[in-house]
């Protein structure tokens, strides 16, 4: 419990910074909706672009941009990428930071097993991510209510946000779990940021490639971001095949993290 509290305290400042920045970014993006709607964004001529390309970048239904759900669904996908980076950074820093900063010596002196170290850190970081995500989604929902078009259904919007909140939570936990797995293999957190960026952008690109051609469709399953793609969630609801894939990756990452860390030669 002491380690759990210490881990939460360590990330309190990071949590506040990320939450505030994402909230302001969401406010800024959504506040542009009335102006973009009046400009007739949905009438943009994209006929020259291949349909597969439009689908890959979630631009296939430009008419949806006339609604707050359609506009938010497209704009917020970039926030989802940032969210994945945040979750991955929490994971990749969690275990490797102790060795890198020399605080592993303090943990050695405590009556705590390696399994307890991993579980405490996982729970703490999962809580940090969950708080960030819930607050971010509440802010996004309220902002969308303020700037929604007249006649938009509040209940329909709430349903879409509820589904997005769930799938986004699963997406973030998946990146967090894979980050922990990478952290269990590292002896320093110096490369944690670059690994987090690489992990998220690589999987996102795999998702884009998977949507370009049916031959590569299976690549989408390697993209946790596509599990919680706002435009897809608002249009078709939860894609459970992607959710189950993420959950399998999450469970395997957690189990492998425990297995590797228990056998790791830690440096004091």
pLDDT digits (tens, 9 = 90+) for 57-111: 566 555 567 788 888 988 898 899 999 999 999 999 888 877 666 666 677 667 7
- The per-residue pLDDT of the chain, averaged, comes to 85
Cα 260 versus chain centre, distance = 25
204: tokens are 């996102």
* H or E segment to which residue 17 belongs: helix 12-30
Q: In this predicted structure, which of 93-102, 128-137, 205-214 has the lowest mean pLDDT? A: 93-102
Check: CB of residue 158 under 8 Å from CB of residue 137. no
Q: What percent of the chain has pLDDT over 70?
A: 84
Domain parsing of the chain, residue ranges: 2-263
Check: CB of residue 133 under 8 Å from CB of residue 172. yes
User: To 10 degrees, the CA torsion angle through 164, 169, 174, 175?
Assistant: 90
| pLDDT at position 79 | 92
* H or E segment to which residue 137 belongs: helix 114-147
Position 52 pLDDT exceeds 50: yes
Determine the Cα–Cα distance for residues 265 and 195; give it in Å rounded to an integer: 22
Tokens 């879409």 locate to 160
């Amino acid at each position: 419990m002491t380690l759990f509290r210490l881990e939460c305290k360590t990330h309190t400042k990071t949590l506040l910074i990320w939450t505030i920045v994402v909230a302001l970014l969401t406010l800024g993006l959504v506040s542009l909706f009335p102006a973009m709607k009046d400009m007739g964004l949905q009438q943009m001529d994209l006929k020259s672009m291949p349909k597969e390309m439009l689908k890959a970048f979630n631009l296939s239904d430009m008419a949806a941009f006339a609604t707050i759900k359609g506009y938010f669904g497209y704009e917020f996908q970039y926030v989802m990428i940032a969210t994945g980076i945040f979750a991955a950074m929490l994971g990749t820093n969690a275990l490797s930071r102790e060795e890198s900063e020399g605080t592993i010596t303090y943990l050695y002196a405590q009556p705590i097993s390696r399994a307890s170290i991993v579980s405490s850190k996982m729970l703490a970081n999962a809580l940090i991510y969950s708080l960030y995500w819930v607050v971010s989604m509440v802010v996004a929902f309220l902002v969308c209510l303020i700037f929604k078009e007249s006649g938009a259904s509040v209940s329909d919007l709430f349903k879409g946000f509820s589904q997005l909140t769930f799938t986004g939570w699963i997406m973030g936990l998946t990146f967090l779990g894979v980050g922990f797995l990478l952290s269990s293999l590292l002896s320093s957190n110096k490369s944690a940021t670059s690994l987090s960026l690489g992990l998220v952008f690589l999987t996102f690109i795999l998702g884009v490639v998977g949507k370009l051609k049916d031959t590569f469709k299976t690549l989408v399953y390697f993209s946790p971001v596509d599990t919680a793609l706002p435009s897809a969630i608002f249009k078709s609801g939860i894609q459970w095949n992607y959710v189950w894939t993420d959950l399998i990756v999450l469970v395997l990452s957690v189990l492998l993290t425990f297995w590797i860390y228990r056998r790791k030669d830690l440096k004091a």
